[in-house]
């Protein structure tokens, strides 16, 4: 052998790979993260090989023992990862062979790194989705707690960032709980397509050995098998789907972040965040900045970027597997890490949201938030809605000129805009009246908010 290298594939080559190429093509420094999944996949594969009589029972026993030791070394941090061995798969195989000899060299029978890596990613992503599902549920529970405390706390609801109608703070938070539910649904749906076994596809065409793919699928907890071998090793659409679902989580968290930032600004002054979630300024001694939500808002960018990166990675790739696909891991890992950290920190931060109900009430008073209620009142007395809208608009203009609220206009003046207005109008113009009147499923009436929270608790309790 003229090659000085002992790479798994070096027999074909007449000179060792250049150091630059070695570093460029290696993935071991990031794909070692899938070591536990790689060991699991190898164990299931070896067990199947022995069951099918493709390797001996003795070889399997040696592989099982060797892989257990490899797993132990990795967990203990004593495993030596070597750039010369390119990736997690070859590093583990090499160590296994050093430990158990020829049996280790038989492990790769009927398998390729192409189906091996696709299996590892799917196992890793399945675990990650389960972790994220739990964290999304934790955040939902944390938001429910705050929503319950503030089921009846009035705040201005905005459209176009202008005061629109009164809502309760609890109702507002429940909007995010709904978004997070859909995020969990999306991950659960994505998980179905992640949870399929590529192993057995080998390099691209399947293998000449009498393998039992169903057995391996059962061993690894996969719900189904990727049926076409070319597709099994080449597509990463499941990873793209995951990043799309993750991007929507970040869209939702960035919206929440933006609101927390606005609410905490002295212009709004609606909330305060606990000191431990804020940072100061190195120059301005008075500053308390909502850095956590700001950073979450910013981190949405890298997650969207990873989605775009993976789409671009996949686009135009001819069948079957190409080296391009090695680039799928870092975006996936970083997406997961960003989500895990962001969800954790939000669940921890939510209970510390201090609501300044007085500031919310004051803002409500400034925005003619019950104008729609007055229009509805006139409609209930027979005026067509468009005419009611016009009458109330004139009343708002008058109140604005006088610098007062609608409820502060004398009854006689209100009646000048419509004779249908009676003394009971002041109930309708109150914030409490406005909230209580929106008393239907999905409405902001405090009793509806409480009922929604009770429904959420029943759903989330089962998780």
Which of 86/405 has CB closer to ligand ARG? 86
Which of 120/373 has CB closer to ligand ARG? 120
Are the C-beta atoms of residues 434 and 369 closer than 8 Å to each other? yes
Which of 59/328 has CB closer to ligand ARG? 328
Does the protein bind ligand ARG through residue 31 (CB under 6 A)? yes
Q: How far apart are CA 31 and CA 48, in angstroms?
A: 25
Kindly tell me which residue out of 38, 59, 85, 87 binds ligand ARG, with binding defined by CB under 6 A. 87
Catalytic residue (one of 281, 300, 389, 418): 281
Q: Which of 154, 178, 366, 171 is nearest to 270 (CA)?
A: 154
Are the C-beta atoms of residues 38 and 29 closer than 8 Å to each other? no
- Part of the chain binding ligand ARG (CB under 6 A), chosen from 11-19, 110-118, 138-146, 352-360: 110-118
Binding characters for ligand ARG, 371-410, by CB under 6 A (x = yes): ----------------------------------------
Q: How would you classify residue 17: left for phi > 0, otherwise alpha for psi between -120 and 50, otherwise beta?
A: beta
Kindly tell me which residue out of 27, 37, 42, 97 binds ligand ARG, with binding defined by CB under 6 A. 27
Does the protein bind ligand ARG through residue 113 (CB under 6 A)? yes
Q: How far apart are CA 425 and CA 382, in angstroms?
A: 15
CB of 172 to ligand ARG, least distance (A): 45
Q: How far apart are CA 147 and CA 174, in angstroms?
A: 7
Q: How far apart are CA 175 and CA 293, in angstroms?
A: 18
CB of 254 to ligand ARG, least distance (A): 31
Q: Which of 283, 288, 286, 295 is nearest to 264 (CA)?
A: 288
Are the C-beta atoms of residues 88 and 256 closer than 8 Å to each other? no
Kindly tell me which residue out of 37, 91, 97, 114 binds ligand ARG, with binding defined by CB under 6 A. 114
Q: Which of 245, 257, 243 is nearest to 335 (CA)?
A: 243
Q: How far apart are CA 110 and CA 302, in angstroms?
A: 38
Catalytic residue (one of 2, 160, 282, 440): 160
CB of 281 to ligand ARG, least distance (A): 44
Q: Which of 33, 222, 230, 209 is nearest to 107 (CA)?
A: 209
DSSP letter, residue 202: T
Does the protein bind ligand ARG through residue 38 (CB under 6 A)? no
Which of 136/239 has CB closer to ligand ARG? 239
Are the C-beta atoms of residues 323 and 313 closer than 8 Å to each other? no
Kindly tell me which residue out of 316, 323, 382, 410 binds ligand ARG, with binding defined by CB under 6 A. 323
Beta-strand pair 196-197/224-225: parallel
Which of 321/392 has CB closer to ligand ARG? 321
Q: How far apart are CA 294 and CA 303, in angstroms?
A: 15
Kindly tell me which residue out of 50, 55, 92, 117 binds ligand ARG, with binding defined by CB under 6 A. 117
Q: Which of residues 155-174 bind ligand ARG (CB under 6 A)?
A: none
Binding characters for ligand ARG, 211-250, by CB under 6 A (x = yes): ----------------------------------------
The tokens describing 63, both together, are: 């592989």
CB of 341 to ligand ARG, least distance (A): 24
Which of 324/387 has CB closer to ligand ARG? 324
Active-site annotation holds for 281: yes
Q: How far apart are CA 50 and CA 227, in angstroms?
A: 23
Active-site annotation holds for 45: no
CB of 111 to ligand ARG, least distance (A): 11
Kindly tell me which residue out of 199, 226, 246, 321 binds ligand ARG, with binding defined by CB under 6 A. 321
Q: How far apart are CA 293 and CA 334, in angstroms?
A: 19
The catalytic site residues sit at: 160, 281
Binding positions for ligand ARG, rule: CB under 6 A? 27, 31, 87, 113-114, 117, 321, 323, 325-326
């Amino acid at each position: 052998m003229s090659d000085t290298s002992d790479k798994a594939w070096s027999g074909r080559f007449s000179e060792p790979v250049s150091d630059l190429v070695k570093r460029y093509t290696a993935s071991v420094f990031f794909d070692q993260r899938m070591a536990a999944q790689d060991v699991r996949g190898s164990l299931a594969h070896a067990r199947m090989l022995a069951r099918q009589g493709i390797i001996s029972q003795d070889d399997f026993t040696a592989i099982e023992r060797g892989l257990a030791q490899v797993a132990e070394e990795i967990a203990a941090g004593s495993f030596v990862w070597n750039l010369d061995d390119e990736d997690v798969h070859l590093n583990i195989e090499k160590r296994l062979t050093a430990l158990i000899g020829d049996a280790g060299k038989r492990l790769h029978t009927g398998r390729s790194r192409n189906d091996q890596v696709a299996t590892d990613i799917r196992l890793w992503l399945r675990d990650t989705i389960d972790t994220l599902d739990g964290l999304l549920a934790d955040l939902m529970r944390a938001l429910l707690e705050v929503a319950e405390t503030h089921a009846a706390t009035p705040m201005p609801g905005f459209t176009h960032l202008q005061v629109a109608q009164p809502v309760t703070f609890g109702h507002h938070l429940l909007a995010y709980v709904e978004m997070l539910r859909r995020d969990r649904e999306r991950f659960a749906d994505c998980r179905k397509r992640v949870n399929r076994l590529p192993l057995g596809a080998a390099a691209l065409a399947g293998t000449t050995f009498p393998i039992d793919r169903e057995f391996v699928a059962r061993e690894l907890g996969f719900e189904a098998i990727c049926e076409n071998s070319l597709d099994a090793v080449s597509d990463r659409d499941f990873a793209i789907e995951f990043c799309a679902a993750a991007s929507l989580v970040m869209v939702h968290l960035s919206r929440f972040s933006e609101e927390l930032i606005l609410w905490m600004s002295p212009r709004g002054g609606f909330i305060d965040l606990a000191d431990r979630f804020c940072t100061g300024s190195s120059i301005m001694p008075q500053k308390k900045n909502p850095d956590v939500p700001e950073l979450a808002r910013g981190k949405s960018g890298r997650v969207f970027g990873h989605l775009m990166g993976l789409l671009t990675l996949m686009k135009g790739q001819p069948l079957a597997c190409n080296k391009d696909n090695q680039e799928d891991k870092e975006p996936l890992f970083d997406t997961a890490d960003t989500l895990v950290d962001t969800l954790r920190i939000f669940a921890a931060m939510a209970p510390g949201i201090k609501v300044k109900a007085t500031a919310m009430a004051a803002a409500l008073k400034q925005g003619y938030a019950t104008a729609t209620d007055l229009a509805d009142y006139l409609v209930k007395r027979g005026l067509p809605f468009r005419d009611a809208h016009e009458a109330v608009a004139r009343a708002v203009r008058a109140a604005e000129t006088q610098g007062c609220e609608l409820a502060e206009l004398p009854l006689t003046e209100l009646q000048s805009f419509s004779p249908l207005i009676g003394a009971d109008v002041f109930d309708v113009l109150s914030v409490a009246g406005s909230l209580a009147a929106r008393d239907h499923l999905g409405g902001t009436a405090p009793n509806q908010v409480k009922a929604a929270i009770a429904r959420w608790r029943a759903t989330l309790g089962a998780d």
